[in-house]
Amino acid sequence: MSNINTDLTLFNELVEILLDDEKNYPVAERIDPAELYESIDLSLNDNAIVDEEFKNVLQNVITATPKTATNLFFNQLFGGRQSKAVLGDLLAVLLNNSMYTYKVAGPQVGIEKEIINQSCNMIGYGPDSNGTFPTGGSMSNFMALVMGRDRKAPNFKSKGMAKPMTLYTSEESHYSNAKNASFAGVGRDNVRYIKADAEGKMIPAELEAQIVNDIANGFVPFYVNSTAGTTVLGAFDPIEEIADITEKYDLWLHVDGAYCGSAIFSKKRMELLKGIERSDSFSYNAHKMLGTPLICSIILVNDKKHLHNSFSNDATYLYQTDQDDFNLGKTSFQCGRRNDALKFWTLWKSVGTNGLEQIVDQQFDLADVARDYVRNHPDYTLYSFDDSISICFNYKAIDPKVLCTALYENQITIVGFGSFNNDTFIRLVTINATNSKEDILNFFKVLEDYVEKNTSLVAQKELANS
């Protein structure tokens, strides 16, 4: 039957197969969903499977799965593989702790707290700051929203909404803001989308005008979400100017740094988050810019009493020993909670804060390489701006949706498209810090070679325009 040693041997064999396969086929062959169950045996059956067959099925599954760690994957706001972080995550699986109490997590609690403390210090939060590891950037935004709601309306938790409350976020911000307004009982219609400028940053004057208007109409403004790295353009909202407004009207200021908040690790890029110490909460995803395995999301709170106020609950069956400070369940959304801290800690411990800075700087350097390339080649049009790791472009005026889909279906490279104002474009993301400058130039080369061999792509566009 099963035995951890033989399964780990099998694991190592499968890892060898996968790493080899990634080298030979950096883009996995796409299986049409209609043919998926015929292509791979995914069925669950009454009887046990024999070992050799089990290994074959696993091999088929892992080699057919989209490869997110290779140098041809640019589709998402994560990519690559930081091996020291992978090591930490594998250990977390073996240890299988739950992060709610010191009694069952022990030193893992200290690891989580160390990451939170160091991060709070880096952004200039005071001695009362604290944080937690939610299940992702969307959940981080949700927790921030709930804290802002409870600070403004202390009876909301027990009575529900008394007066209509409004929250503010830019039209370029993450879609979780709308869902969270609904989950928090505030209502999607009470989300005010503030206009962004030509570079995709929230316009503070528009924000203030909307707040004034809402107050005059009997609404209770309570929360502003500003974004450090918008999902499409990678733009940074001006925190300092937004903080002037949130302080004036006593609103909670959250900075959603899920995408590019890790820029706090770079002395050169910290400037993009100027004013961050004036926020009430800040979140960042280490599984995006820092390259840890998913999920690794951190929310920091300037005054920890809000975290306790909104999320703690007594439970004598759970909290039986130690103090609140070491029983992390008192400040989390969930009860049972996966250990997402260890993988980040193993990475940070091994490369140091300076190593994390290099990881961040590398991505901005690669972005410069990509932007220069696009700017210097007349067949390209650039739609994005400096100081961003999203490089948005079109090539030879080819429909970006058609081109992205063709590149994916023909196993050339995996990249996505996005829109800003009235333009739609390919969005290259240089978030994989294990890539080199050559890998970025190779991306353009494989794209150009593909178009060269498939002239119909260009012809289609010309036909459409004629």
Ligand X SMILES: *Cc1c(COP(=O)(O)O)cnc(C)c1O
Let me know if 354 is exposed, middle or buried by CB neighbors in 10 A (0-12, 13-18, 19+).
Answer: exposed
- Residue 63 or 266 having the CB closest to ligand X: 266
Of the candidate spans 15-23, 123-131, 132-140, 362-370, the one that interacts with ligand X by CB under 6 A turns out to be 132-140
Structure tokens at 7: 């399964």
For ligand X, which is the closer residue by CB, 242 or 403? 242
| Two structure tokens written together for 431 | 């978030």
Question: Least distance from C-beta 228 to ligand X, angstroms?
Answer: 8
Which residue has the CB atom at the shortest distance from ligand X?
Answer: 137
Bridge partners for 166 per DSSP: 221
CB of 348 to ligand X, least distance (A): 19
CB of 79 to ligand X, least distance (A): 13
Beta bridge partners of 419: 424
**Of 292 and 327, which has the nearer Cβ to ligand X?**
292
| Per-residue x/- track, 133-152, ligand X (CB under 6 A) | ---xxx--------------
Query: Does 225 interact with ligand X (rule: CB under 6 A)?
Result: no
Judged by CB, which is closer to ligand X: 70, or 230?
230
What is the footprint of ligand X within residues 61-90 (CB under 6 A)?
77
Q: Which of 125, 156, 252, 259 binds ligand X (CB under 6 A)?
A: 259
Please report whether residue 227 would count as binding ligand X according to CB under 6 A. yes
Would you say 72 or 286 has its CB closer to ligand X? 286
* Residue 451 CB neighbour total at 10 angstroms: 20
Which residue lies nearer to ligand X by CB, 283 or 327? 283
190 vs 231, beta carbon nearer ligand X = 231
Q: Token digits for 80?
A: 């690559």
Q: Give the single-character DSSP code of 275.
A: T
Is 231 near ligand X (CB under 6 A)?
yes
Per CB under 6 A, the list member of 85, 111, 196, 258 interacting with ligand X is 258
User: Which residues share a beta bridge with 3?
Assistant: none
Which residue, 40 or 203, is less far from ligand X as judged by CB?
Answer: 203
Q: What are phi and psi of 139, to 5 degrees?
A: -70, -35
Task: Please report how close the Cβ of residue 351 comes to ligand X at its closest, in angstroms.
Answer: 23
Q: What is the closest distance, in whole angstroms, from the C-beta atom of residue 117 to ligand X in the complex?
A: 22
Number of helices (H), then strands (E), in the chain: 16, 12
* Euclidean distance between CA atoms 466 and 464, whole angstroms: 6
Stretch that binds ligand X, among 3-11, 18-26, 223-231, 383-391 (CB under 6 A): 223-231
Give the gyration radius of the chain's Cα atoms.
24
Q: What is the DSSP letter of 420?
A: E
Q: For the chain, give the longest Cα–Cα distance.
A: 75
If the CB atoms of residues 77 and 123 are measured against ligand X, the closer one turns out to be 77
The reply on whether position 286 binds ligand X by CB under 6 A is no
For ligand X, the binding residue among 71, 119, 180, 285 (CB under 6 A) is 285
**Secondary element (H or E) of residue 9:** helix 4-24
Residues 6+ apart with CB under 8 A from 322: 101, 102, 103
Binding mask 296-335 for ligand X (x = CB under 6 A): -x--------------------------------------
- Residues making up the chain, counted from first to last: 466
**Residue 280 C-beta: closest distance to ligand X, Å:** 17
Sole window of 2-10, 65-73, 255-263, 377-385 interacting with ligand X (rule: CB under 6 A): 255-263
Could you give the C-alpha distances from 426 to 172, 356, 373, 429, in angstroms and in order? 17, 28, 14, 10
Other beta carbons within 10 Å of 355? 15
Query: Out of 67, 149, 174, 306, which residue is the one contacting ligand X (CB under 6 A)?
Result: 174
Q: In Å, how far from its chain's centre is CA 427?
A: 16
CB of 137 to ligand X, least distance (A): 2
**Contact yes or no for 180/136 (Cβ under 8 A):** no
Task: Kindly state whether residue 418 participates in binding ligand X, applying the rule CB under 6 A.
Answer: no
**Paired tokens of 243:** 């903080």
Minimal CA–CA distance to 211: which of 256, 158, 152? Answer: 152
- How remote is the C-alpha of 111 from its chain's centroid? 21
Answer yes or no: are the C-beta atoms of 85 and 344 closer than 8 Å: yes
Taking the complex as a whole, how short is the minimal distance between the CB of residue 296 and ligand X, in angstroms?
9
As measured in angstroms, the least distance from the Cβ of 288 to ligand X is 6
Q: What does the DSSP 8-state code read for residue 271?
A: G
CB of 48 to ligand X, least distance (A): 37
Closest contact distance (angstroms) between CB of 231 and ligand X is: 4
- The residues that touch ligand X, with contacts defined as CB under 6 A, are 77, 136-138, 174, 176, 227, 229, 231, 256, 258-259, 285, 297
